[in-house]
Amino acid sequence: MTEQTLHTSSYQSQQQIAAMQEQKLQQLLVYLNQNSPFYKELFAANNIDVEVIKTLDDLRLIPTTVKEDLQKRNDDFMCVSRDKIIEYSSTSGTLGSPVVVALTENDLQRLTYNEYSSFICADGKPDDVYQLMLTLDRQFMAGLAYYSGIRKIGAGIIRLGPGVPSLQWDTILRLKPTAIVAVPSFIYKLIQYANEHNIDINSSSVKKAVCIGENIRNTDFSLNILGKKITDAWNIQLYSTYASTEMQTAFTECGQGKGGHHQPELLIVELLDEHNQPVAPGEPGEVTITTLGVEGMPLLRYKTGDICQYFDEPCACGRTTLRLSSVIGRKKQMIKFKGTTLYPPSLFDLLNGMEEILDFVAEVYSNEIGMDEVLLHILPVNYTDECDRKIRANLQARLRVSPHVTYVQYDEIQKMQYKESGRKPFKFIDRRL
């Protein structure tokens, strides 16, 4: 398939898209049945004749795959011999042990195409220059993907790595990037640094930001508190992107900011409820994916653990593809706290919005009767009794329950956030696992 036809699939009718996906699905099933030890066994154990699965509806006859399968039987998912593998990427292991995702040369080209198409969706042009404020090593697939996708557009790239606001600003002022790729809470740190050092951010060269790893929107697509804090201070366009190592594919927003666009030639996506039944548009469901065109480690009905909503009306940008909301939460990170259900992103949004709080880490643990408890480690702007009272009152009002609160120093919060691999700051510690 040529790049031109790949690209236009985002603008086709839903029937045309389904027909294209069904053809690719049939190829995938034959391929898995020949080459994947894990899926061969799964088909045999469930009496599945791959020749019978023809349509997207038929796909539901196949059991789902979960992260634990990948963790326990990582090698059995590999469909090629070792000499075909070029790149050994790995999941971060934030939730359980890391999984190696191996890519062939074709998979790397697919990954490049995926991110090329994503950055074009996010209004990327050949005359853009992107400053990458993220890890490019440590087996991190996304860094590699952004680099190769932007390169394919023909835009410029500055690989600066994560953190160090002073260096980021020196480089922005010197090399004049038009765009940045960064974690939104770090963009906010950049703004604070600029304000403290008399840098006029709105006269800088940066006009857009591709936001990774954290939400900038509520599920109705309005900007959340973090997104608002950024755009109130800095006149830039934000584009959210959602991806995972396992799916080797991104959902990236267009300029309309109405959810991340699905790339139907690269992925079949289903949103499932607890009983593995599809949810309706606008309902929360677990993102479940089937990779298309992956050679090294293809996945079939893989449950990502991410809870999102989807929308399927055509977008004002002209694309007809399904759009995903920001991640409401990780299924595993759901907190059942004193009778309420809470996901870390909404807790983060609340904490980000409180001006008394400079930074935080949220910790969840099980109490002696096995119920979830929440302990917030908070770095206050300026610790006073008044500040403490405001924080507690605000938490109580918004959550309707009172989490435990402890105040910490700058050094302690840094230590908690940047332990282990240090790809991104840890804001959530789950001691229940």
Site for Zn ion in 198-227 (CB under 5 A): none
Judged by CB under 5 A, the residue of 254, 292, 294, 376 near Zn ion is 254
Q: How far is the CB of 242 from Zn ion (least distance, A)?
A: 14
Q: How far is the CB of 221 from Zn ion (least distance, A)?
A: 11
Judged by CB under 5 A, the residue of 317, 334, 375, 399 near Zn ion is 317
Size of the site for Zn ion (CB under 5 A): 5
Residue among 165 and 260 whose Cβ is closer to Zn ion? 260
Residue among 208 and 319 whose Cβ is closer to Zn ion? 319
Q: How far is the CB of 321 from Zn ion (least distance, A)?
A: 8
- Indicate whether 256 belongs to the interface with Zn ion (CB under 5 A): yes
Q: How far is the CB of 240 from Zn ion (least distance, A)?
A: 12
Residue among 262 and 427 whose Cβ is closer to Zn ion? 262
- Indicate whether 171 belongs to the interface with Zn ion (CB under 5 A): no
Which part of the chain contacts Zn ion (CB under 5 A), choosing from 112-120, 251-259, 300-308, 393-401?
251-259
* 372, 335 Cβ separation under 8 angstroms: yes
Residue among 10 and 92 whose Cβ is closer to Zn ion? 10
Q: How far is the CB of 10 from Zn ion (least distance, A)?
A: 9
Which part of the chain contacts Zn ion (CB under 5 A), choosing from 32-40, 248-256, 338-346, 389-397?
248-256
> Which residues are paired to 378 by β-bridges?
360, 407
Residue among 10 and 245 whose Cβ is closer to Zn ion? 10
- Indicate whether 66 belongs to the interface with Zn ion (CB under 5 A): no
Which tokens belong to 62?
Answer: 């196949």
Q: How far is the CB of 318 from Zn ion (least distance, A)?
A: 7
Residue among 10 and 21 whose Cβ is closer to Zn ion? 10
- Indicate whether 64 belongs to the interface with Zn ion (CB under 5 A): no
Which part of the chain contacts Zn ion (CB under 5 A), choosing from 211-219, 256-264, 373-381, 408-416?
256-264
Residue among 120 and 225 whose Cβ is closer to Zn ion? 120
Residue among 153 and 322 whose Cβ is closer to Zn ion? 322
Judged by CB under 5 A, the residue of 122, 155, 308, 315 near Zn ion is 315
Q: How far is the CB of 322 from Zn ion (least distance, A)?
A: 11
Q: How far is the CB of 336 from Zn ion (least distance, A)?
A: 36
Q: How far is the CB of 418 from Zn ion (least distance, A)?
A: 35
- Indicate whether 120 belongs to the interface with Zn ion (CB under 5 A): no
Sheet holding 310-311, edge to edge: 156-159, 129-132, 179-182, 208-211, 237-244, 249-252, 260-261, 323-324, 310-311
The residues of the shown chain that bind Zn ion, judged by CB under 5 A, are 254, 256, 315, 317, 319
